[in-house]
Amino acid sequence: MRANKYFDLICGSYEPAVSDQHVPDFAYNPLNTSGKLYNPIIDNEWLRENKPPIWPDNRKFAVCLTHDVDSVSDFDPRQNIRRIKKLLKTTSNRSLGETARKVVEHNLSALKGLVGKKDNLCEFDKWMDLEAKHGARSTFFFAPEKVGQPHESDCMYKYDQKIKYRGKFIDVAGLMREMDSQGWEIGLHPSWHTFDDLDEMVFQKQQVEAVLDHSINSVRQHFLKYDPLNTFKVQTEAGFKYDSTMGYNDNLGFRRGSSYLFNCYDLKSDQPLPLLQLPLIIQDGALLAPDKGLRLDSDKALEYIKHVANEVRLVGGVLTLSWHPHTFNRPGYFDVYRKVLELLEKDDPWFATVNEVGDWWRKRSEIDLLKFTKNIPSE
């Protein structure tokens, strides 16, 4: 262990390594115990003697809106058959009663699909219209449709699956191209087992690129499941420029003590990687899910968001948010998102996609937090 706590924090050397294919604690952070989780301590340290980042048009901070597309519809019959098959293959992970309940549930959903009932699970156009109203475009991270090494958490949709979009039915590939052509960004939401598998990561990246007919630069791991020793190297070698996985499933705040972009670090070779990190600061489920995380009501969630957004504004950083499109019909979720955008717009941030923020930082920023934290004298 190095002596400098800031450098250790930003490099991830405090974070537990994967053991037995399992990340021990998704929410682990040494800042949890010191009460500094909602304070970008490294950015504040930087600002003691240095200037804040500059943003286009002299804006004071940036907001990066993102969405992990885990699911696109409920009633698709083929998807439900795939779900049932997977359930029956993985029965050892749950009780028999639970498996039976889920099988019945998916059968019913498949039946609804077969009689022509279409769901409005995601309402992608509503997310896009809301963002456009605020002059924003977001990044949608899409899962691959094929996975070489399956895991029970894999997303189940296919790119030819039909979904409703602006009153018509289009397939997922069509939606991805539509978003792409209108200035939204498409990134990869790779499956569980990509965390240490380059071939698998490349295989999944190429599927999205084949749909778009151009390369993609950004990535966020499904379930934020990463291995500090391997994942960022794998992402780099797969050709990604920007990752936004360093956040929480059960809390919000600054996992590596910063809202600035910084180079991911290869702990094995003790070298920085060219891959830039846009830390994920706030995600929907961690605040609003009734059965995990902070379990807040909408008003309390907004209070937390306001507090953390203000911290980012004060240091001139990037507030990266993630809202899952499939939460559209859940109480609170879309409504809180709408209120957050209204709230943020009042402070006139630079709304930008992962790529836009990353490209700007690469060209214009002289802030290198690895170099900076390395030179902070140890206490």
Does residue 15 touch Zn ion according to CB under 5 A? no
Smallest gap from Cβ 195 to Zn ion, in A, equals 13
Nearer residue to Zn ion within complex by CB, 90 or 375: 90
Q: Residue 208 is inside which H or E element, if any?
A: helix 198-212
x/- map, 30-49, Zn ion, by CB under 5 A: --------------------
Interface segment toward Zn ion; rule CB under 5 A; list 117-125, 174-182, 216-224, 302-310: 216-224
Smallest gap from Cβ 187 to Zn ion, in A, equals 12
Interface segment toward Zn ion; rule CB under 5 A; list 52-60, 218-226, 276-284, 339-347: 218-226
Interface segment toward Zn ion; rule CB under 5 A; list 68-76, 175-183, 193-201, 244-252: 68-76
Give the CA dihedral 94, 98, 101, 104, nearest 10 degrees: 10
Contact 258, 42 (CB under 8 A): yes
Smallest gap from Cβ 194 to Zn ion, in A, equals 12
Does residue 222 touch Zn ion according to CB under 5 A? yes
Of the candidates 68, 145, 180, 185, which one interacts with Zn ion according to CB under 5 A?
68
SS3 109: helix
User: Tokens 């809106």 correspond to what residue?
Assistant: 65
Contact 174, 210 (CB under 8 A): no
Helix 333-346 vs helix 124-133: angle between axes, to the nearest 10 degrees? 20
Nearer residue to Zn ion within complex by CB, 154 or 311: 154
Q: Give residue number: closest CB to Zn ion.
A: 222
Residues 6+ apart with CB under 8 A from 98: none
- Cα gap 212→184, rounded to integer Å: 12
Nearer residue to Zn ion within complex by CB, 68 or 180: 68
Residue 106 carries which DSSP code?
Answer: H
Interface segment toward Zn ion; rule CB under 5 A; list 209-217, 220-228, 303-311, 361-369: 220-228
Does residue 205 touch Zn ion according to CB under 5 A? no
Is the alpha carbon torsion for 124, 63, 235, 257 positive or negative? negative
SS3 320: strand
Residues 6+ apart with CB under 8 A from 116: none
Query: Which residues from 293-352 bind Zn ion, rule CB under 5 A?
Result: none
- Cα gap 302→279, rounded to integer Å: 20
Interface segment toward Zn ion; rule CB under 5 A; list 46-54, 192-200, 221-229, 240-248: 221-229
Smallest gap from Cβ 155 to Zn ion, in A, equals 7
Residue 106, token pair as written in the block:
């998916």
Smallest gap from Cβ 224 to Zn ion, in A, equals 8
Which of 379, 369, 377 shows the shortest CA–CA distance to 9?
Answer: 369
Contact 141, 218 (CB under 8 A): yes
Smallest gap from Cβ 221 to Zn ion, in A, equals 8
Interface segment toward Zn ion; rule CB under 5 A; list 69-77, 78-86, 199-207, 282-290: 69-77
Smallest gap from Cβ 227 to Zn ion, in A, equals 16
Q: How far is CA 151 from the centre of its chain?
A: 19
SS3 339: helix
Nearer residue to Zn ion within complex by CB, 106 or 222: 222
Does residue 70 touch Zn ion according to CB under 5 A? yes
SS3 258: coil
Q: How many residues sit in the footprint of Zn ion (CB under 5 A)?
A: 3
Q: Which amino acid is located at 76 in the chain?
A: D
Smallest gap from Cβ 362 to Zn ion, in A, equals 26
User: Tokens 């907001």 correspond to what residue?
Assistant: 63
User: Tokens 């939401």 correspond to what residue?
Assistant: 189
Interface segment toward Zn ion; rule CB under 5 A; list 99-107, 178-186, 214-222, 251-259: 214-222
Smallest gap from Cβ 193 to Zn ion, in A, equals 14
Smallest gap from Cβ 68 to Zn ion, in A, equals 4
* 94 phi-psi bin (left φ>0, alpha ψ -120 to 50, beta other): beta
Does residue 227 touch Zn ion according to CB under 5 A? no
Nearer residue to Zn ion within complex by CB, 42 or 147: 147
Footprint of Zn ion on this chain (CB under 5 A)? 68, 70, 222
